[in-house]
Amino acid sequence: MESLQPYLTRKSEAVSQRKAEWESARKNGDPEAGVISISASSRLAGATGARPTRVGEYLIVSDSKEGMAGHNLGPTAPEMLLGALSSCLVHTYVIQALLLEVPLEGIQVDVSAKLDMAAVVGVGGPPPRLEEITYCAIVDSPSSREAIGWLHAAVEANCPVLNTLKMPGDVRRVEET
């Protein structure tokens, strides 16, 4: 397996620089230092029913499985949510490992959930939502179990997507402008 060290060195420099910039700006009265705005936009595409979704600068195609008249051209929206959680957890493990000085040789996060699709097609029941979301973080590090435990706790406290799912805020529809 290729060494993570060159990436971790670059990441450590970037994290240190951002932390110093944002701490300084906040101390100087800028409460918005470090706040970013992000967006995504999706539409229905012609005869396929696929949903090209613009996420920042990138285009991801989301589609339904064949049993829902899709063509399986990309992940479903719930799968993308799990993918976003998995990716965000991996990224947060890297950042927190650097901040806690926990050496990493590798990190993988597997996420799974259950989704009752019956209400989606009008069968009734509770509102459809992902349930029993679980993740398994496989941390490859020579650190002690105690240090890895601190790393897990730091990730759970600081992962944006995980915190959004665990402590949801308002999501509201706004009128087209």
Report pLDDT digits (tens) over 74-104.
999 999 999 999 999 999 999 999 999 999 9
Percent share of the chain, pLDDT over 90: 85
The reported pLDDT for the residue numbered 176 is 87
Structure token digits, residue 49: 């029913």
pLDDT higher than threshold 70 for residue 1: no
Report pLDDT digits (tens) over 59-75.
999 999 888 888 999 99
Report pLDDT digits (tens) over 133-153.
999 999 999 999 999 999 999
The answer to whether the pTM exceeds 0.75 is yes
For the segment 96-115, the average pLDDT, to the nearest whole number, is: 97
Q: What is the DSSP string of 90-135?
A: HHHHHHHHHHHT---SEEEEEEEEEE--GGGGT--SSPP-EEEEEE
Residues 6+ apart with CB under 8 A from 43: 51, 52
